[in-house]
Amino acid sequence: DAKTTQPPSMDCAEGRAANLPCNHSTISGNEYVYWYRQIHSQGPQYIIHGLKNNETNEMASLIITEDRKSSTLILPHATLRDTAVYYCISTVRGSTLGRLYFGRGTQLTVWP
């Protein structure tokens, strides 16, 4: 079962920052936060993951609160192609326990 909570939908103007929140209040100390997105009719795509420090890559930034009970995925300049369902997942990394359980995610719609 998914152990994270996300709003079902959000929208954002093209060119603006999209900030997608996620609550993971029961996260364990050895669990990472992963973000994936799924564009219609495609397989999910890995975006970013982190443990406790903020992370940034070419796609997005991940801000994790100090108590690790919530996080925010930031798309700094959203484009129409960023319209997708975004999934936030907490899981143990790099072991036989490290499987991903997807919830319903957040449908992000970027409008012109």
Partner 1 sequence: DAGVIQSPRHEVTEMGQEVTLRCKLISGHNSLFWYRQTMMRGLELLIYFNNNVPIDDSGMPEDRFSAKMPNASFSTLKIQPSEPRDSAVYFCASSAGGGGYTFGSGTRLTVV
Q: Are 12 and 111 in contact, with CB atoms under 8 Å apart? A: yes
Compute the least distance from the CB of residue 112 to partner 1, in Å. 27
Task: Return the residue of 49, 51, 63, 72 that touches partner 1, per CB under 8 A.
Answer: 49
Q: Does 86 engage in binding with partner 1 (CB under 8 A)? A: no
Greatest alpha-carbon span in the chain: 43
Task: Return the residue of 58, 67, 99, 112 that touches partner 1, per CB under 8 A.
Answer: 99
Give residue 5's identity as a one-letter amino acid code: T
Among 31, 30, 19, which residue's Cα sits nearest to residue 86? 19
Q: Does 96 engage in binding with partner 1 (CB under 8 A)? A: yes
The residue assigned the tokens 């959000």 is 10
Q: Does 92 engage in binding with partner 1 (CB under 8 A)? A: no
**Torsion on CA atoms 65, 60, 27, 89, rounded to nearest 10:** 160
Q: Does 8 engage in binding with partner 1 (CB under 8 A)? A: no
Compute the least distance from the CB of residue 69 to partner 1, in Å. 22
Contact footprint for partner 1 (CB under 8 A): 34, 36, 42-47, 49, 87, 93-94, 96, 98-104
